[in-house]
A and B are shown apart, each in its own frame.
Chain A
Amino acid sequence: MTDAVTVTDLVVERGHRRVLHELSCTVPAGRVTGLLGPSGSGKTTLMRALVGVQRVRSGEVTVLGEPAGSPGLRSRVGYVTQAPSVYPDLTVRENARHFAALYGRGAGAADDALTAVGMTDAAGQLVADLSGGQRGRASLACALVGDPELLVLDEPTVGLDPVLRVDLWDRFHALAAAGTTLVVSSHVMDEAGRCDRLLLLREGRLLSDSTPAQLRTDSGTDDLEEAFLRLVRTQQEVGASGRGREHRSEGRARSGASRGSEQVSRA
């Protein structure tokens, strides 16, 4: 078993809207898997399903060999929400120590996690007094502190300066090298190139499951953002003409892509 996560025919509905449409995918163990797609594509919903806090309509999510959300997984899976979920009225160190205690670890583990995200100097500060980027790192430290086998990070680099962003990505790869499986979401395509594996999501469907190199080769461009857009267009044409995957109208404007899909699906 080299897959840390297996998702089979996952359907999630929110209100009357279907957010994930029979989505199936896998996440390889010990790698950094990027979950990319535009805002509203279902990235957060999929991540919530992985950590077992999302009510699902149907389908199966298996994480580290157990159904997602099993009590046994709670000390093995770390989750960092998009908005920093730490206590603003506690110091950074107190936050890290609290989550360390919940994972059965001591103050040493909390200090290590703070070092890992470069927050040692701010350890004594109240989270309420921190900048947005610092809060995000404090929140990340509170997940690292449990030394989880699977780390699910929802847009962890939003609001970070480029230097810190590179630092964090290096940290993610160091964790993966040590055996941790990481699922990292982003809506910035330039981060896609840093992932070992890429899951591209659009409108609740899996658009592609490949690697940055594969994606570049398949789409014939080095620009991953452009590759994503070409993929979207190809997909729409496949949907329109059934098997006609070679029909590719290069002239279609970028902004016209989504409007195009409506016309196509009505046809």
Chain B
Amino acid sequence: MSAATAVLSPRLTAATTGRVLRQLRHDHRTIAMMVLLPSLLLGLLYLLWRDVPALPGQPSVFDRVGLTMLGVFPFVVMFLVTSIAMLRERTSGTLERLLTTPLSRLDLLLGYGTAFGMAAAVQALVTVTVATTLYDLEVAGSLWLVVLIAVVDAVLGVALGLLASAFARSEFQAVQFMPVIVLPQFFLCGLLVPREQMAGWLQAISDVLPLTYAVEALQEVGRSAAGTGTMWRDVGVVAGAAALALALAAATLRRRSS
């Protein structure tokens, strides 16, 4: 049964990526929301904190929170989009059909990851450009690193979305996995309360949640001009978590069902 799992065909993965992007292309409103919504929400945060004075020697609240949001948006959006897309594949019968073709399960999942990762890159480029020009977001490091981290966060969202969709029987359930998966990671990532000030056990939970590392990586880029070792380690942790979630998602995709 798992004989075909190991097989991975770049050609079939690319075919899936192309198909998912073509589906997206027919959905203009989704594209508009994906590209513009993070910029608009970031604008709201900018206006919210514009007149709040920063503590001396500290970055402004918007610089700190706004930068972090560049990692949180793609994570949340891609999680939702992917879990719904995969649920649709399951309920429409297309998944069953795909599983009777030479397409391997990993081809399918990586195809999704690549397609939405590319969408996230566009989203991140637009949001970073808007944030640094219109909202005067201060970033010490390279903006390309911010985009890179945003894309890795998006891929993490895709991978967790694919995994979560396996446990959802309906769209109602699928959307409710969003707060389950996303909110605890957001609460504990160090943005609301610095990690050093958390209770030990909360910090321990925070240590195993991937978004913690995504946020830390962005904070590193915000502080230092060159990419730090901590930042690269954090990016590696997030990418590793995404790979793990994809592998688990592949294991939940059974060719045979009852």
The chain A residues found within 8 Å of chain B, CB to CB, are: 13-15, 51-56, 69-71, 74-75, 77-79, 81, 83-91, 94, 98-99, 101-104, 126, 142, 146
Contact = CB atoms under 8 A, between A and B. Distances in A.
A134 to B, nearest CB: 16
Nearest to B24: A89
B62 to A, nearest CB: 38
Contacts of A54: 256-258
A257 to B, nearest CB: 30
A250 B4 CA distance: 54
A13 B257 CA distance: 11
Interface string B168-203: 000000000000000000000000000000000000
B198 to A, nearest CB: 44
B132 interface: no
A78 B100 CA distance: 8
B213 to A, nearest CB: 34
B14 to A, nearest CB: 9
A231 to B, nearest CB: 30
A50 to B, nearest CB: 10
A102 B22 contact: no
B100 A89 contact: no
Contacts of A14: 258
Given A69-B256, A85-B93, A102-B12, A90 B101 contact: no
A52 B15 CA distance: 23
Contacts of B255: 52-53, 69
B94 A87 contact: yes
A126 B27 CA distance: 11
B155 to A, nearest CB: 22
A89 B19 contact: no
B59 interface: no
Query: Nearest 6 CB-CB pairs, A to B?
Result: A85-B93, A101-B15, A71-B4, A55-B256, A102-B101, A85-B97
A88 to B, nearest CB: 8
B138 interface: no
A102 B23 contact: no
A15 B258 CA distance: 8
A103 B97 CA distance: 12
A125 to B, nearest CB: 11
A265 to B, nearest CB: 27
B15 A102 contact: yes
Interface in B65-118: 92-94, 96-103
B101 A89 contact: no
B15 A83 contact: no
Contacts of B256: 52-56, 69
Could you say which interface size class chain B belongs to?
A: 20 to 34
B16 to A, nearest CB: 8
Given A74-B100, A85-B92, A85-B93, 15 more contacts: A53-B100, A69-B255, A69-B256, A71-B102, A75-B101, A81-B93, A83-B93, A86-B94, A87-B94, A89-B26, A90-B26, A99-B101, A101-B12, A103-B102, A104-B11
B3 interface: yes
B256 to A, nearest CB: 4
A85 B26 contact: no
Nearest to A14: B258
B103 A102 contact: yes
B23 A87 contact: yes
B26 A102 contact: no
Contacts of B101: 74-75, 99, 102-103, 146
A86 B95 CA distance: 10
Contacts of A71: 3-4, 7, 102
A145 to B, nearest CB: 10
Q: Considering residues B94, B100, B256, which has the most beta carbons from chain A within 10 angstroms of its beta carbon?
A: B100
B240 to A, nearest CB: 29
A74 B257 CA distance: 17
Nearest to A143: B97
B87 to A, nearest CB: 14
B257 A53 contact: yes
